[in-house]
Amino acid sequence: MNKKIVFSIFLAFIISFSIFIIFQYNNWNSLGPLQEDFFNKNIKNSKSTILLLGASDVGMLNVTRIQSSITEKYENYEVFNLAISGDKPSKRLRQIDEIILFQPKIILYGIGLRDLSSENYLFNDYLPNPSIYVSNFFWLISPPFFDNPKLVTLNFLKDLINYRNEIANFEEHTPFFHYKPEYDSVTNLEELEKMYNDDNQLHIPKFDNNKEFKSLKFLLEKFSENDIKIILVITPHNSYYTNSISQTDKENFYHQIDILKSNSNVDVFSLMNNYSKMNIWLSENHISHGPEGKIYDENISEIISQILKNK
């Protein structure tokens, strides 16, 4: 009798766990309604397109300013900022087919220190975390829903009830990034230094054990195979932030960037330390979206124009 009970419990667990994994994978691997709507509407765009990819540090760019600057010399190009808050290369993999079908001429991918860091690293742990090694070993079949199944479930429920954030503001040609009025503000450098938490550090694994690096390399290779020119931009970071990152982690980051440079279709530009002493920061690694952050838009426009000139 006891064996039957144990077997029944075990079978119920296997069935429940299988349903959970299938549910998580299907909903992680599918585009949200905003993303589906954008790609479906713009897939046959008559203009040559330039896509900006990355996380919130790319989301802070003002596409209206960038588009205006590009149009002065190159009228037939249209710029879209597809930044997503909290994005990482392993998460961007879910859009790879749609991005390629979009047939952009250029992809500008903004990469910061956080983008190549490990999500699960704990500085208090003196023993290795096995989940990091398993995740990195099976990087292509280990999607990010394992990192945050709660978020995947929450997003599914929001989509199910046709959830819409009434307060969310989407600027033109920036369809996935929610703007808020406070993004236009500036934090004084002195205040930023006082506010900054020295414990807010990252760990960047070596290239052979880094899921995010492998995902990014895979993305860039696929874009290259489809004749898409790639601009890799190291995004701006305030010195208070970079000073908290260990020298070893910085070296790991730049070594991985050097590996990506070996792709002849990839041009790399760094804005890492360009604005460290300027009062244009919203936070330690975000430039203000307001007028004070105009120089960031101008520099990105100049980089794009330089590539277009050499095409």
Structural domains present in the chain: 31-310 (3.40.50.1110)
User: Collapsing DSSP states into helix, strand and coil, what is residue 51?
Assistant: strand
User: Collapsing DSSP states into helix, strand and coil, what is residue 196?
Assistant: coil
* Nearest Cα residue to 87 out of 55, 43, 121, 62: 55
Torsions phi, psi of 112, nearest 5? -115, 175
pLDDT means per 10 residues, the chain with 311 residues, are 71 70 50 72 77 96 95 94 93 92 95 86 45 48 51 52 52 87 90 67 89 96 96 94 89 97 94 93 91 96 96 73
Q: What is the pLDDT of residue 194?
A: 75
Q: What is the pLDDT of residue 301?
A: 98
Cα–Cα distance measured from residue 40 to residue 164, given in angstroms and rounded to the nearest whole number? 19
130 Rama class: left (phi>0) / alpha (psi -120 to 50) / beta: alpha
Q: What is the pLDDT of residue 14?
A: 80
* Nearest Cα residue to 193 out of 134, 264, 158, 244: 244
Give helix 211-225 / helix 130-137 axis angle, nearest 10°.
10
- pTM for the model stands at 0.80
Torsions phi, psi of 286, nearest 5? -130, 125
Q: What is the pLDDT of residue 157?
A: 55
Cα–Cα distance measured from residue 22 to residue 305, given in angstroms and rounded to the nearest whole number? 45
Q: What is the pLDDT of residue 121?
A: 45
* Nearest Cα residue to 144 out of 119, 109, 165: 119
Q: What is the pLDDT of residue 147?
A: 54
DSSP label at residue 52: E
The pLDDT tens digits of the residues spanning 27-65 come to 444 456 777 778 777 666 668 999 999 999 999 999 999
User: Collapsing DSSP states into helix, strand and coil, what is residue 296?
Assistant: helix
